[in-house]
Structure 1
Amino acid sequence: MEELQVKLTSAVGKISPQGNPLVSHKFGADPYALVYDGRVYLYTTNDVLEYSEDGAVKDNTYGNINKIGVISSADLVNWTDHGIINVAGPDGAAKWATQSWAPAIAHKVINGQDKFFLYFANNASGIGVLEGDSPTGPWKDPIGKALILRSTPGVEKVTWLFDPAVLVDDDGKAYIYFGGGVPEGKDERPDTARVMQLGEDMTSVVGEAQVISAPFMFEDAGINKYNGTYYYTYCSNFYNGVRPEGSPPAGEIAYMTSDNPMGPWTYRGTILKNPGHFFGVGGNNHHVIFAFKDAWYIAYHAQTLSKAMGVPKGYRSTHLNEVKFQDADQSIQEITANYEGVSQMQSFNPFERVEAATIGWSAGIATEASSDGSVAVTDIDSGDWLALSKVDFDSNGASGFSASVSESSSAAVIELRLDAADGQLIGTLQIPAAKMEAAEYHTEVTGANGIHDLYLLFKGKPGSKLFKLHSWQFSQ
């Protein structure tokens, strides 16, 4: 194929070398984390743009969200898109439910087998649970109904029955935290947060839910255990009247501590200001705190991608920053949210098979599930690209590159470049036309040594979708 001259697509939202938001090819709100087998998995409310009849993006109504998104990473900068979980509705695992908001995930070994439990809110009227054998499923509804309803003991006066968080304690006992909302006239002490023990099967509840009397509670339960102390975290409400001294300001992440997972709790302060303070676009605050490879992190959402797209209308993206606990007084340092994100934990290995939907930064592309259960990179136009951060080609370097591609409508190429989309060219992979089934293609590589950012630049016929990319790998 003759040399193709293209205009590079510009990245929107996540710009190299920044780490936030974590991905820019889709949204993801209300993050919750699972650390398993050397990776952190993040489960998110699957925000998708809604349009009015004239084609304009309208405010997010949240009413159509019945799926949960999943991404994972071993280094906290390059993220693999695992697609979506069909949770609610006729095509979902929980057919009794209509929505799936604000997921929580827990792992427990039961009868010698790893089991994963995905909790979700059916709007604000109940909490359901799915069960799977891996962090990415497949998922089933083990009880065929809601796990928690307002008929559950101790839950009758919860305004918003949603936003679960789960702790599996050191003794194997598990607890679920949930609730929110502000009854009229009770802004300072809504008393709508709850904690309840889960059964050993993780799909039942035990006893009666207990009130967590969190000052100016709004929503967004979080739970962690650090050095024997339990930390309950939540988002404060937006009451605009006078707040007593020492109360949490509006829309911030606050925390309480206890020496017992059921409480009582002592209010300690706030740790993360509203996204509007950092990013110039507000909205609610929703978070999860987790430990990964000897450090602690907070994942939270903000409307940075939708703002960059020009549609800050309630569509949220997940971000990541570090958390510091203070051992001396059991406090948590205030967190600074930013676009920079966190340091990459380890370099990226290009000599193992890489799922194509593994992305540090990208421009123009989308992802979709393939028939084999993997997630492919799609919607590829000429000039689009994706990139991986700090790829380690080793001192011996790479000699070859292969990729699995399908649905190539016309001849195209993948240019392999270092450190920028127009950086040093180390190889060009030719993709033939009219190949619908997935096929493997190979090319030689020269000049790839040491650690570099890797860019896959897609070139082909202007105005047409080029192909679908399923996976790739370098060889030595």
Structure 2
Amino acid sequence: MKEPKKLLLFILAVGMSIAAAAQEVLNMPLIQTKYTADPAPYVHGDTIYLYTTHDEDDAEGFKMKDWLLYTSTDMVNWQDHGVVASLKDFPWYKGDNGAWAECVVERNGKWYMYCPIHGHGIGVLVADSPYGPFKDPLGKPLVWRQEHWDDIDPSVWIDDDGRAYMYWGNPHTYCVELAEDMISTKGEIMTMSQIEDYQEGPWFWKRGDWYYLAFASTCCPEGIGYAMSKSPTGPWEHKGHIMDHTPRTRGNHPGVIEYKGKWYCFGLNYDIFRLETSRHAERRSVSAAEMTYNSDGTIKELPYFIDCKLEQVGHFNPYRRVEAETMAWGYGLKTTRANPSGPWNETLFVTDIDDGEYILVRGVDFGDKGAASLTVSCSALLYGGRIEVRLDDVDGWKAGIIDIPNTKFKYQEFKTGLTRCTGVHDLYFVFKGSDKQRRNLFNFDWWKAERK
């Protein structure tokens, strides 16, 4: 029995080494603890709210039951907020699959989530907070033309004059004006003239006097194309690609935002799944890249996501309670609220922690005086493990060590002193096991640094 166990540990070690090298050199997907797709970023205040669809871990085809939320204030460290809405929030839909590409906007203090349910039109949910709970105000689809299955991938935009529009469709692009209440329509559904290379997934925005419509270009493989217009309802002129067709991925779905003076294009790929296997399954991941414009308003074409650079915007504050599910990289880990063999937790926590895995938080600003100590909240059922607090590399300066004993799955706080934690560093929480336990070491809930 020892040899298979050794082989498994070897495979895991090799996989982690590949993943570590990938995230250091390449612009890898933003989320590694779940499979995410169909990015719908929205900027409100100083925060990016990134809503995504969710491919299940065992998906072969499209297996999608709910919608997730991640937030960031620096573009590289993302906090997981888990499921914010699901198919169960639509009582009129009795199926258990089909939670496709959503879009979320805020208006007058309310948050509106437009959710296509494959084959059953586009529903809408409303909440008082970007985190939910989202409720169905209609009890029926907002748009559902039952003669076809084209009603997917909504994109909603509120123009400078207060008029709101929703765009959607595959293989045609449709548009309808939304009423002030954002849950009813005004006028007839318009069918846009066919845009060259358009497949699906329209994403609408405005910059200056130009309106833009990005989209997943003709399959397969898809790229991210775009068109421009002087009017929110067209006519649209195809301008090329934000990212060209590439065999390095199969599908795409764009989301475009301006954040802190820079523009970003989000899309999807299979790059996390490719760390495990070369075979195909619908287990996708969201990536992002900085996007720039030419003087005439057209967009400079980007290389594939992996080859782009995504720089941190601002630094990360460690002197507060930081949820452990906030990370720039955490391949191999999972996040949940309920461990099958443990207690329910009010917030998400990091689990499936194995020997050699780690959480990376980029650009942590400890300040000139630095940090004196660090406290973590963890729980363990069996032998537990150790957290090595390292700087700038998984094998970098060991600033502190925290041993996590058996807590009988009760969350307890543990503290370590820190050394050399001044200025700005990438912070690594490196997890170590023992001879008795190398997998599922403990659960990690939150951490906080304290100043000198």
TM-score, reference length from structure 1: 0.84
User: What CA distance in whole angstroms lies between the structure 2 residues aligned with 1:86 and 1:169?
Assistant: 26
2:29–2:285 CA contact under 8 A, matched in 1: yes
2:200 to 206, 216, 219: 219
Gaps of 5+ in 2: 1-9, 339-343
- Mean CA deviation greater in 261-270 or 200-209: 261-270
Does 1:271 pair with 2:251?
no
Change over 3 Å in CA distance of 1:252–1:466 after alignment to 2: closer
1:37 to 27, 33, 45: 45
State the partner residue of 1:324: 292
User: What CA distance in whole angstroms lies between the structure 2 residues aligned with 1:139 and 1:319?
Assistant: 26
The CA RMSD measured in Å over matched residues stands at 2.2
Does 1:141 pair with 2:136?
yes
User: What CA distance in whole angstroms lies between the structure 1 residues aligned with 2:357 and 2:225?
Assistant: 41
State the partner residue of 1:61: 61
Gaps of 5+ in 1: 1-5, 52-59, 182-191, 240-249
User: What CA distance in whole angstroms lies between the structure 1 residues aligned with 2:40 and 2:412?
Assistant: 36
Alignment partner of 2:273: what SS?
A: helix
Question: 1:262, CA displacement in angstroms?
Answer: 1.9
1:11–1:361 CA contact under 8 A, matched in 2: no
Does 1:354 pair with 2:326?
no
Change over 3 Å in CA distance of 1:382–1:271 after alignment to 2: closer
Question: 1:342, CA displacement in angstroms?
Answer: 1.1
State the partner residue of 1:285: 252
User: What CA distance in whole angstroms lies between the structure 2 residues aligned with 1:336 and 1:441?
Assistant: 45
Change over 3 Å in CA distance of 1:309–1:228 after alignment to 2: same
State the partner residue of 1:471: 446
Question: 1:11, CA displacement in angstroms?
Answer: 5.7
1:120 to 115, 126, 144: 115
User: What CA distance in whole angstroms lies between the structure 1 residues aligned with 2:149 and 2:196?
Assistant: 15
Offset from partner CA, 1:244-275 (integer Å, 9 cap, x none): xxxxxx73322222222122323333321124
Offset from partner CA, 1:380-411 (integer Å, 9 cap, x none): 12222111112111121111110111244324
Alignment partner of 1:102: what SS?
A: coil
Change over 3 Å in CA distance of 1:469–1:11 after alignment to 2: farther
Amino acid at match of 1:84: V
User: What CA distance in whole angstroms lies between the structure 1 residues aligned with 2:103 and 2:331?
Assistant: 30
Change over 3 Å in CA distance of 1:173–1:335 after alignment to 2: same
State the partner residue of 1:443: 416
Question: 1:455, CA displacement in angstroms?
Answer: 0.8
TM-score, reference length from structure 2: 0.88
Alignment partner of 2:356: what SS?
A: coil
Question: 1:308, CA displacement in angstroms?
Answer: 1.8
Question: 1:464, CA displacement in angstroms?
Answer: 4.1
User: What CA distance in whole angstroms lies between the structure 1 residues aligned with 2:241 and 2:384?
Assistant: 56
Percentage identity across aligned positions? 33
2:36–2:52 CA contact under 8 A, matched in 1: yes
State the partner residue of 2:154: 164
State the partner residue of 1:230: 211
Give runs of aligned pairs for residues 412-451 of structure 1, distance below 5 A: 412-451=385-424
User: What CA distance in whole angstroms lies between the structure 2 residues aligned with 1:451 and 1:108?
Assistant: 37
User: What CA distance in whole angstroms lies between the structure 2 residues aligned with 1:101 and 1:423?
Assistant: 42
User: What CA distance in whole angstroms lies between the structure 2 residues aligned with 1:395 and 1:11?
Assistant: 35
Offset from partner CA, 1:357-387 (integer Å, 9 cap, x none): 0111224311112545421100112222111
